[in-house]
Structure 1
C-alpha cells in the first residue's frame, strides 16, 4: 500500500499555461507568420526589378531607440510589481505608455519624411512594402499601447502586485515581442535596401 502512495506522489505534473497566455502566444505566432511572409515577398519582389532605391528616414533610428527604451521602462515596472512597489509600477507603466505614443508619432513622421522624398504607397513596390511594414507594425503597437493603458489602470486599482502578475506578464511579453519585431524589421530594411 505504501508503494502505491509513493508512486502517486512521484507523478509528474502536466505542463499547464493560463488560457489567456496561450491565446497570446498563438496570436504572436500568427503575427510572426504574417511578417515572415511579407519579408519573404519583399525579397522575391525586389529580385524582379522595377525597384526604387531610397534612403530610410533618419527618424527610424530614433523610433528604434524609443522602442528599446520603452522595453526597459516596462521591465522596470514588471520588476517593481514583483516587489510590490506600486508607485514604481505606475511610474514605469506611465513612462512606457508615453514612449509607446512617442513611437507611434515617430512612425507618422517617418511617413511624412517618405512623402517628402517622393516615396508613396502606390507607384513603386519598395515604397509600398515600407508602408505596409510600418503600418502593420503600428497597428499592432496601437493594440500594445491599449494593453499598457489597461495594465496602468489596473495598477491604480491595486490589481497589479506580486500575487497577481498574469496580465502584467502578458503585457510584458507582447510589448517585448513588438519591440523585437520592430528591430527585426528595421534591420531587415537596412540590410535589404
Structure 2
C-alpha cells in the first residue's frame, strides 16, 4: 500500500524565543508579582487606619522625567544599532547610563526630602511602605545600570550592531520595564497617599 505525502504550504513554525530573553521575561514576571503584592498590602494596611498623611517629595516628578528620557535615549540607541549607526549607539548608551545614575541619585535625594519631612522607615507604615517601594525599585535599577554598562562596553568593542542585537534588546526591554514600574509606583502613590 502506497502512502501519500502532501506538501503543506505555510506550515506553522514552532514559537521560539532566545533562552536569555525567556529568562529575562520570567524575572520580570517575578518582579511584577512582588510589586503587585506590595501595593495590595499597602491598600489593605492603609484601610486599617493610623496612616500618616504627607506630600510626596517634589523630586519624584523630576526622577520620573529622568526615567522617561532615559528610555527614549535607549530606544534611540536600539534603533541606531538596527541601522548599524555605531556612533549613535555609543552616544545613546552613554546618555542612558548617565541618566540611569542620575535617577538613582534623585531617589537618594527623595529619601533625604522624606527625612526632612520627618517621614522615616521606622515608625508609621505609610513611610515604611514608601521606603520599601523606592528602595526595592532602586535595587532593581542598580541591576539595570549594571546591564547598561555591560552593553555600553560591548558597544565600544563593536559587539552591538544589527547582526548582534540581543543584549541591547534585552537591556532595552528591562530598562523600559523599570521605567514603567516606576511610573506605576509614582501614580499609585499619588493616588493613594
TM range (shorter): over 0.9
Using the TM superposition, give the Cα deviation of residue 6 of structure 1 relative to its aligned residue in structure 2, in angstroms: 1.3
Alignment of 1:1-193 (within 5 A): 4=5, 6-7=7-8, 10-193=10-193
Partner-residue secondary structure (3-state), 1:118: coil
In 1, the alpha carbon distance for the partners of 2:192 and 2:5 equals: 63
TM-score normalized by the length of structure 2: 0.97
Structure 1 residue ranges (4+ consecutive) displaced by more than 3 angstroms after TM superposition? none
Using the TM superposition, give the Cα deviation of residue 5 of structure 1 relative to its aligned residue in structure 2, in angstroms: 5.5
TM-score normalized by the length of structure 1: 0.97
In 2, the alpha carbon distance for the partners of 1:132 and 1:125 equals: 10
- CA-based RMSD of the aligned residues comes to 1.3
Structure 1, gaps ≥5 residues long: none
Using the TM superposition, give the Cα deviation of residue 12 of structure 1 relative to its aligned residue in structure 2, in angstroms: 1.2
Structure 2, gaps ≥5 residues long: none
Partner-residue secondary structure (3-state), 1:146: helix
